[in-house]
A and B are shown apart, each in its own frame.
Chain A
Amino acid sequence: MSRFKKSVQPHHWHPNFRISSTLPDVKIVRSSFVINGICSLFLGFVVVSMLWQEYNLSSIRSHVDRLENRIRETEANNNLLLRQTDRFRELSRHIIDVERFYFAPFKPYHFISELVRLKPPGLAFDSIEYSEKVNEENPVNEENAKSFMNYTIRISGRMHDLDTLSEFKRKLKKSNLLKVSGYEIKIHDFDEGRNLTTSVFSGGINIEITPEKGKSAGQKGRLEL
């Protein structure tokens, strides 16, 4: 506070010629002190804030270091576990294949031997392919959409005439091989043309196995070959 009081003394015969602009600051609490005080407080706040941030940063850094050390310590064990997991996954795939092989309603070797038995003379098999495909009923209406499995067996081969293929198709239709409960069987033959050099026809039979209509996907089950 300034020690200069507002003069209450009447100025009769007392004009004041003090040149205030060139006088030093003699306030008990100097303006410069107040300004410096505010600046010091602000600086102190900034410094404390920075120190606090540095402390937090160093805490986070030390935490990160601890975690990295832990990662490094467990890395070898983790890698071992990952390798074991990969191996387990690979083995499980084989196990599934084996399981499917043993628990399928159609024994592959039985199916193939039946095909061979039904094959008319003059037809040579090139390949037998089996594939599965998921189809959906009402795919536009998501709430009522239902999924089901389609199975396709494609038998490719060569023959001297197309009658042989037709005979094979007829035998298949008559055979009990493809009579599976709950499934609808469609057998089509296909012609891939004739080799002009050898005069041998390429073609085959396409067998589509789809669940019968009116049965739910759950009821339709899964066809195992």
Chain B
Amino acid sequence: MLKLKTHNKSLFVDLSEYSILAARTSGYYPPFKIEEIAEFSLWGEHTVAGIRAFLGSLGEFREEVTDFVISRCGVHPEGQFIHFFEAEPVGKLKDPTDLNEILKTEFSLDPEENEIAFLNVDDGSHFDLKGPELKKRFICGAPTKELQVVQDRLLEYGLCPERMELSSVATIGGIADYASYDSINSPILCVELNSGSIRVVIQRKGKVEQIHSISFGLNKIESLLQSELGLSDEESGRKLLFSNDLDFIEMRPKLLKHLINVLKTFIGNYEIQTGLAIHHLFVGALPEKLNWVSQAISSSLEIQRMQLCFEPWLENLNIKLADGVEVSNLGNHWMALFSLMGDFSPKEEVASE
């Protein structure tokens, strides 16, 4: 069993379909120090015992009173949804009955079967029915049974979540905060590529402006690769997808052609609506070996990829790195884990607290 040696040790874990990112910190609430970070790939063969051993080796764990490590977890449950909603008229979201009706009619979401959160698009704060009337809302969540599946997985790994968040939502907050920190005022195209779908979010000045989900995920790319090369099984296609095989490199633009076209349309519409050009691209969730996807998207769309410098940004969030913790070479997918740690409340609000 995994145990934290001392009470002030904390564990942040991001559990995606590609890998487990984990960080042992000196606390949950900034200011704190990141003492150790590690990544466990879920792409190849792995066992629960292996994952437990990985988490156990991460830090100073030992047998203690409970059987679980208390941790803050970011997850990517099946069927998770992030929607953008514009209320028309503005006061329409004041009534909970209207809210349920909107969920059912516009998003086909049954509040009884889903865990749903309403956020304000401006700052990601919880939507208060009694608060000021705002036109744009942010709806996120996942089916309850899928969240339960993920939570059971965490427990199986010896992790008891103190918080279980959607990594995608935390990452949106992280990118918004990073843009604010790095004084990026132009729109940012955020692309999250999952197995079954791609989520595209456009942010500007820390606010979510548009969200789209495209039913074209990594599975689709694998199928295309399989048919192009005449492979007999999907596993071979997946292996090739993660390889740097030269023949395959030449095929990459063809595999992403459909995705690129959808993104171009999406970007075109936004630029026409707002008159603003998108200059920054962030592709999250993908592991290092799929970096070519973000490169291909960047080159095809002619949008510059964000080069994230985690250390100064984390320091800006009152999160320091312990000696020996190196973050300069980490891929963008680490943004999900660091976003779990960040306090993204408006700075004046923090100051007043």
A interface vs B, CB < 8 Å?
Answer: 3-5, 7-19, 22-24, 26-30
How many residues in B have their beta carbons less than 8 Å from beta carbons of A?
47
- Indicate if the CB atoms of B164 and A24 lie closer than 8 Å: no
Whether the pair B119, A13 counts as a contact (CB closer than 8 A) is: yes
Contacts of A19 in B (CB 8 A): 115, 144, 147-148, 151, 164
Would you give 20 A-B contacts (Cβ < 8 Å), ordered by A? Answer: A3-B7, A4-B162, A10-B125, A10-B343, A11-B126, A12-B125, A13-B173, A14-B124, A14-B344, A16-B163, A16-B165, A17-B141, A17-B166, A18-B162, A22-B148, A23-B160, A23-B161, A26-B70, A29-B65, A30-B66
Determine whether the beta carbon of A23 is less than 8 Å from that of B350: no
Say whether A13 contacts B124, CB under 8 Å. yes
A3 and B70 contact, Cβ closer than 8 Å, known pairs A16-B165, A26-B160: yes
Q: How far is the CA of A127 from the CA of B18 in the complex (A)?
A: 137
* Residue B117 interfacial (CB < 8 Å): yes
Residues of A within 8 A of B164 (CB): 16-19
B 162-181 binary contact with A (CB < 8 Å = 1; else 0): 11111001101110100000
B60 at the interface (CB under 8 A from A): no
Q: Which 4 A-B pairs have the closest CB atoms?
A: A13-B173, A13-B124, A15-B117, A10-B345
Inter-chain contact B126/A15, CB cutoff 8 Å = yes
Kindly list chain A residues whose C-beta atoms are within 8 Å of the C-beta of B29: 8-9
Taking a contact as CB atoms under 8 Å apart, the answer to whether B141 and A13 are in contact is no
Query: Chain B 187-218, CB within 8 Å of chain A: the 1/0 string?
Result: 00000000000000000000000000000000
Whether B349 is near chain A, meaning CB under 8 Å from some CB there, is yes
From DSSP, what is the main secondary structure of chain B's interface residues? mixed
Q: Complex formed: what's the CA distance from A18 to B126 in Å? A: 16
Say whether A24 contacts B166, CB under 8 Å: no
Complex: how many Å from CA A102 to CA B205?
A: 142
Alpha-carbon distance A17/B161, docked complex (angstroms): 10
- Chain B residues closer than 8 Å to A29, beta-carbon distance: 65
Smallest beta-carbon distance A218→chain B, Å: 95
For the complex, give the distance between the alpha carbons of A10 and B30 in Å: 11
CB distance from A132 to the nearest CB of B (A): 97
Given the known interface contacts A12-B123, A13-B172, the answer about A18 and B161 at a Cβ–Cβ threshold of 8 Å is: yes
Q: Which chain B residues numbered 112 to 158 have a C-beta less than 8 Å away from chain A?
A: 115, 117, 119, 123-126, 140-142, 144, 147-148, 151-152, 155
Contact status B68-A15, CB under 8 Å: no
